[in-house]
Structure 1
């Protein structure tokens, strides 16, 4: 198994059961100097990434990813995924799904840089009563 295959397998296993993973498990996936960027911010270093995941998952009822086959080149891969999640304060806790993708760079058999792309509006804002009305209105106007 190649180094990249090993990292991809660990990535898939970790995110497939994200809500059951302790922050300490990130040490087997991310480089100490890793950078994680998503629509909500940039997190530099393993400690910052662990802190971010801890805050994200504290009130989540469940959060798991189904991950498609990655596209690989050298020490990089791109993967599309669907996040299946629920939070008691968003959409009354009902199960939600969100599509996205990650661009990942590997160094020393660990992730050194990950950039996640997804629609933060679709993830959160469209499920909040007042904001959802405004966002749906904007989307209708753009489609017209």
Structure 2
């Protein structure tokens, strides 16, 4: 059986071709996924979340850097390449982020994803994007 890291890479590098049901081969039934949009507890909640995320997405794939691992934990930095017809005129966007993953019984029991939700969605919406970009410019000044 491939390692959980190999299965993680296989799933996310072709995410838009994967079924949310395939998460059962990667995540523990009691898994927890935490990202900027919330906490999702249990395999069924993860499957619902992924179904919702991938609805209407034209493309969603990850390029993933080599993992750092020790014991039952690994961390990866990645770039998500995605497009949605109602965001940024359907252009392919790139979003950098990273995941810290805890493993139990060769399945993911906890995953914490770090990325800028504003960069992902809010900056690409007409009025809200203008406001978010303006706030970021002021903070950088």
| TMscore range, shorter length | over 0.9
Instruction: Please tell me whether residue 137 in structure 1 is matched to residue 127 in structure 2.
Output: no
Q: Deviation at 1:76?
A: 0.1
Q: Deviation at 1:139?
A: 1.2
Structure 1 gap ranges (5+): none
SS of structure 2 residue aligned to 1:136: helix
Instruction: Please tell me whether residue 102 in structure 1 is matched to residue 99 in structure 2.
Output: yes
2:29 corresponds in structure 1 to 32
Partner of residue 47 from structure 2, selected from 50, 56, 59: 50
1:113 corresponds in structure 2 to 110
Taking structure 2 as the reference length, what is the TM-score of the superposition?
Answer: 0.98
Distance across 1 between alignment mates of 2:137 and 2:111: 33
Cα RMSD, aligned residues only: 1.1
How many residues were matched structurally?
A: 141
How far does the alpha carbon of each residue in 1:46-94 deviate from its partner, in whole angstroms, 9 at most, with x for none? 0000000000001100000000001011100010000000001110110
SS of structure 2 residue aligned to 1:113: strand
Distance across 2 between alignment mates of 1:139 and 1:44: 32
Structure 2 gap ranges (5+): none
SS of structure 1 residue aligned to 2:21: helix
Structure 1 runs (4+) greater than 6 angstroms displaced: none
Distance across 2 between alignment mates of 1:68 and 1:60: 23
Taking structure 1 as the reference length, what is the TM-score of the superposition?
Answer: 0.96
SS of structure 2 residue aligned to 1:10: helix
1:69 corresponds in structure 2 to 66
1:86 corresponds in structure 2 to 83
